Amino acid sequence: MFACGWGGNQFTPLLLMYRRLGGYSALSVDAFLGAYVVGLVPGLLLAGPVSDRRGRRPVLVAGTVASALASLVLCFGGQGAWAIYAGRLVTGVAVGIAMSVGSSWVKELSAGPDGGLPARRAALCLTAGFGLGAGVAGAVAQWGPWPMVSPYAVHLLLTVAIPVLLLRVPETRPPLARAAGSLRGLLAALMSDLRVPAPARRRFRLVVLPMAPWVFGSAGLAYAVMPQLVGSRAGDWGLAYATGLTVLTLGMGVAVQPVAKRLRGGAPVAAMAVMLLGAVPCAANAVVLSTWLAAAAAAVLGAGYGIAVVSGLLEIQRMAGADDLAGLTGLYYLLAYAGFLLPAVLAALSAWLSYPVMLSAVAAAALICLGLVVTGARAAATAAAE
């Protein structure tokens, strides 16, 4: 999970490099991020239910191999956009597998009275991979040789032995005999794994659904939108600055994750409140263009990310049964990653709207989602009391 997270986020601080050295427009580099999200869809929606029937190990081995293959393809990014789109697409598939299958495998391998431990372990592995991958890739691209190749070579070397190591991890979901049925039957079974259990649907709609897109929407604001807005103020240190924002955001996400355990049922409300506190300075910074204000906003958004990703996983693990855990985990992460399309949407709309207007609308959306989550949390508390 750490290695796939590394591969998933190593590209993000390199956006400025592709704009300056590759000559791509802001819309093009944000579209590269969009290709990653497209690849996440099959990885998140299909890999989890397949692993429920075929076993966790073979699916996660395939995801790790895909992550290494994606870095190999990205090494050819200097030859044309095709390699970047293809590499990012395969990277998305790999990260989707790591999130849905890896998170479920970690939960099944974890034992003890602390019910929140599996969610924190899974979130920590992914977030550490996201942060260190971005930090190392940005540093290598800023100061190392062959900036369009060497960052991906580091990840390739990191990942190459992991599929062999995975063979030593105990399997928790032995293949089911009924998994060998017709394709139509398998697809029907996969869809059933993505269905939220009836008793949890109201809380899912009012709490998980409005919060989930902010998990990676906040990350997109912090280390994709902000560096491009203030990149001219950073000068020749733009790539290092973008890397610093990425590491700061995800470092804060790691630091606050233990807080989500103490907040219990109120964690989603706290997460959305912190998201709002981070979105407001982003809107202000679209006017003042301060590197320091961007850093402050990234730190706050990183804290919101950390609380949201853990609390969302805890919500899903409470809702899911043993046979649909991976499927619902994948569904949750798919909703979370929908927020990562935000930079591309803003770049596309920038032809008609200014960033101060658009980011003010984003802050207003955060306020609305906070209201929905508060309503859902109160409704759940009332139902539990009755």
- Over its length of 386 residues, how does the chain's per-residue pLDDT go in tens digits? 999 999 988 987 887 788 777 777 777 777 787 788 888 888 888 887 788 778 899 999 999 999 999 999 998 876 778 888 999 999 999 999 998 888 888 888 886 666 667 777 888 888 889 889 988 998 898 888 888 899 999 999 999 889 889 988 888 887 765 544 555 555 665 566 666 666 667 778 888 889 999 998 998 899 889 988 887 787 777 778 888 898 899 889 888 877 776 776 688 899 999 999 999 999 999 999 999 999 999 999 999 999 998 888 888 878 776 666 777 777 888 888 888 888 888 988 988 999 999 999 999 999 999 999 998 887 765 555 55
Number of domains in the chain: 1
Structure tokens of 65?
């191999």
- 382, with CB counted inside 10 A (0-12, 13-18, 19+), is exposed
**CA Rg value for the chain:** 20
User: pTM for the full model?
Assistant: 0.78
CA–CA dist 272, 206 (Å, integer):
13
Q: 197: which DSSP letter?
A: P
- 38, with CB counted inside 10 A (0-12, 13-18, 19+), is middle
Under 8 Å between Cβ of 133 and 10: yes
Under 8 Å between Cβ of 80 and 24: no
Cα angle 14-33-287, degrees, rounded to a multiple of 5: 75
CA–CA dist 360, 377 (Å, integer):
26
CA–CA dist 167, 150 (Å, integer):
29
Q: Which residue's entry shows tokens 């969610």? A: 119
**The CATH number of the domain where 83 resides is what?**
1.20.1250.20
- 221, with CB counted inside 10 A (0-12, 13-18, 19+), is buried
CA-wise closest residue to 173 among 122, 114, 101, 110: 101
Q: Which residue's entry shows tokens 């490099």? A: 17
CA–CA dist 320, 104 (Å, integer):
11
pLDDT for the residue numbered 113: 64
pLDDT for the residue numbered 290: 92
CA-wise closest residue to 122 among 5, 246, 267, 256: 5
CA–CA dist 216, 205 (Å, integer):
18
- Residue 62 is part of which domain span? 2-385
Helices then strands, each counted (H, E), the chain: 21, 0
pLDDT for the residue numbered 155: 94
Percent of the chain as helix, strand, coil, to the nearest 5: 85, 0, 15
